[in-house]
Amino acid sequence: MGLNGVVVVDKPAGWTSMDVCAKLRGVFGEKRVGHAGTLDPMATGVLPVLVGRATRAVDFVAQGEKEYVAALRLGVETDTQDLTGAVLAQAPVPPEARQGLEALLPRFTGEIDQIPPMYSAVKVGGRKLYELARKGVEVERRPRRVTIHTLEILDQSGPEEFTLRVVCSKGTYVRTLCHDLGRALGCGGAMAALRRTRVGRFTLERAVTLEALVQAPRPAALLTGVEECFDQSAVTIRGRALTLALHGNPFPLEAPAGEYKVFGPDGAFLLLGKSDGAVCRIVKSFYEVTP
């Protein structure tokens, strides 16, 4: 049996999310390594990495709510909407910038529309936007509906430097949020730094640095069970129900309707299931299939 589990990596700046996965394939000696929720190279923080058959949970984790701490620089706009890009425009920052920002926060909280930045992996006509952007091509992008659950100013370190806390849905571009806030304030804005502090249930407090993983004598010991990806209630099955489940079939489960983490009698996490109150159907299986 190969490795199976999840580790929360504190992604370092300068690495792509795929760079981290490539490195960990070598560290764990496992080809199946995936991440849940891409971070730009300049960003740091929580990157859930799933190993082995735990990669089957990638989409579930990626759907989780995200939390970020971002640095906003007012008075500048760039082609990437962050400070790694080429400057497109500069403007003086109003003296009452903080009050202006505070007044704007409600407008950017709740369901909002964002236009994906050109420097993003969104595809238009089968081409990734950043591939077109690198060739100097700009195309029309459709707005995307995202949800900003929380948006607040944590700190102000200078006339044009603010620290924001953002809790948002999947698909939210924090650098676009910074750009749009600056544009609404009338002076422009760009993201100066970004640190992700949470993805779903996974927080920065439980994150491991990439360096610690690489240097660990037993990296596999840092993996936790894939069941940690889910917050559904747990049930244990035995006998006929267990036999049916292990063959991929619906199985009897007397429990209130809803989703459950389903375990075997030995405590092994088997699957995520959805019950109608009497019968449970498999949403995603995580047990090892034996020939």
> Where residue 136 sits, what CATH number does that domain have?
3.30.2350.10
d(CA 23, CA 20): 5
Check residues 239 and 125 and name the one with the higher pLDDT. Answer: 239
Count how many Cα atoms sit within 13 Å of the Cα of residue 126 in the half-sphere of its side chain: 0
pLDDT at 96 over 80: yes
Q: Where in the sequence is the domain holding 248, given as residue range(s)?
A: 232-285
Question: For residue range 14-45, what is the model confidence (pLDDT) as tens digits?
Answer: 999 999 999 999 999 999 999 998 898 899 99
d(CA 86, CA 122): 20
Yes or no: say if 210 and 217 are a contact pair by the CB < 8 Å rule.
Answer: no
Asked if residue 126 and residue 11 are part of one domain, the reply reads: no
* Polymer length in residues for the chain: 291
Q: Is residue 120 part of a domain?
A: yes
pLDDT at 209 over 80: yes
pLDDT for 3 equals 81
Q: Is residue 290 part of a domain?
A: no
* No. of helices (H) and no. of strands (E), the chain: 7, 19
Q: Is residue 260 part of a domain?
A: yes
- Nearest 5°: phi and psi at 133? -60, -40
Question: For residue range 137-165, what is the model confidence (pLDDT) as tens digits?
Answer: 565 668 889 999 999 999 999 999 999 99
Asked if residue 131 and residue 96 are part of one domain, the reply reads: yes
Asked if residue 131 and residue 60 are part of one domain, the reply reads: no
Asked if residue 45 and residue 77 are part of one domain, the reply reads: no
Q: Is residue 291 part of a domain?
A: no
Number of domains in the chain: 3
Q: What tokens does 101 get?
A: 């920002």
Yes or no: say if 153 and 97 are a contact pair by the CB < 8 Å rule.
Answer: no
Asked if residue 88 and residue 134 are part of one domain, the reply reads: yes
Question: For residue range 48-87, what is the model confidence (pLDDT) as tens digits?
Answer: 999 999 999 999 998 999 999 999 999 999 989 999 999 9
Asked if residue 134 and residue 112 are part of one domain, the reply reads: yes
Asked if residue 183 and residue 106 are part of one domain, the reply reads: yes
Task: Work out the burial of residue 146: count CB atoms within 10 Å of its CB; fewer than 13 is exposed, 13-18 middle, 19 or more buried.
Answer: middle
Mean pLDDT of 167-175: 94
SS3 category, 28: helix
Helical pair 174-185 and 97-104, crossing angle rounded to 10 deg: 120
pLDDT for 105 equals 97
d(CA 70, CA 163): 6
Which CATH number fits the domain that encloses residue 275?
Answer: 2.30.130.10
Share of the chain above pLDDT 90, in %: 83
pLDDT for 291 equals 46
Count how many Cα atoms sit within 13 Å of the Cα of residue 233 in the half-sphere of its side chain: 8
Q: What tokens does 185 get?
A: 């304030």
Q: Where in the sequence numbering do the catalytic residues fall?
A: 40
Q: Is residue 155 part of a domain?
A: yes
Asked if residue 156 and residue 97 are part of one domain, the reply reads: yes
Instruction: Say how far residue 131 (Cα) sits from the centre of its chain.
Output: 22
Asked if residue 216 and residue 194 are part of one domain, the reply reads: no
* AA letter at 139: V
Asked if residue 129 and residue 84 are part of one domain, the reply reads: yes
Rounded to the nearest 10°, the torsion over CA 285, 27, 34, 118 is 180
Q: How far apart are the first and last CA of the chain?
A: 13
pLDDT for 104 equals 97
d(CA 105, CA 181): 8
Check residues 178 and 79 and name the one with the higher pLDDT. Answer: 178
Yes or no: say if 194 and 40 are a contact pair by the CB < 8 Å rule.
Answer: yes
DSSP, residue by residue, 173-203 = -HHHHHHHHHHHHTS-EEEEEEEEEEETTEE
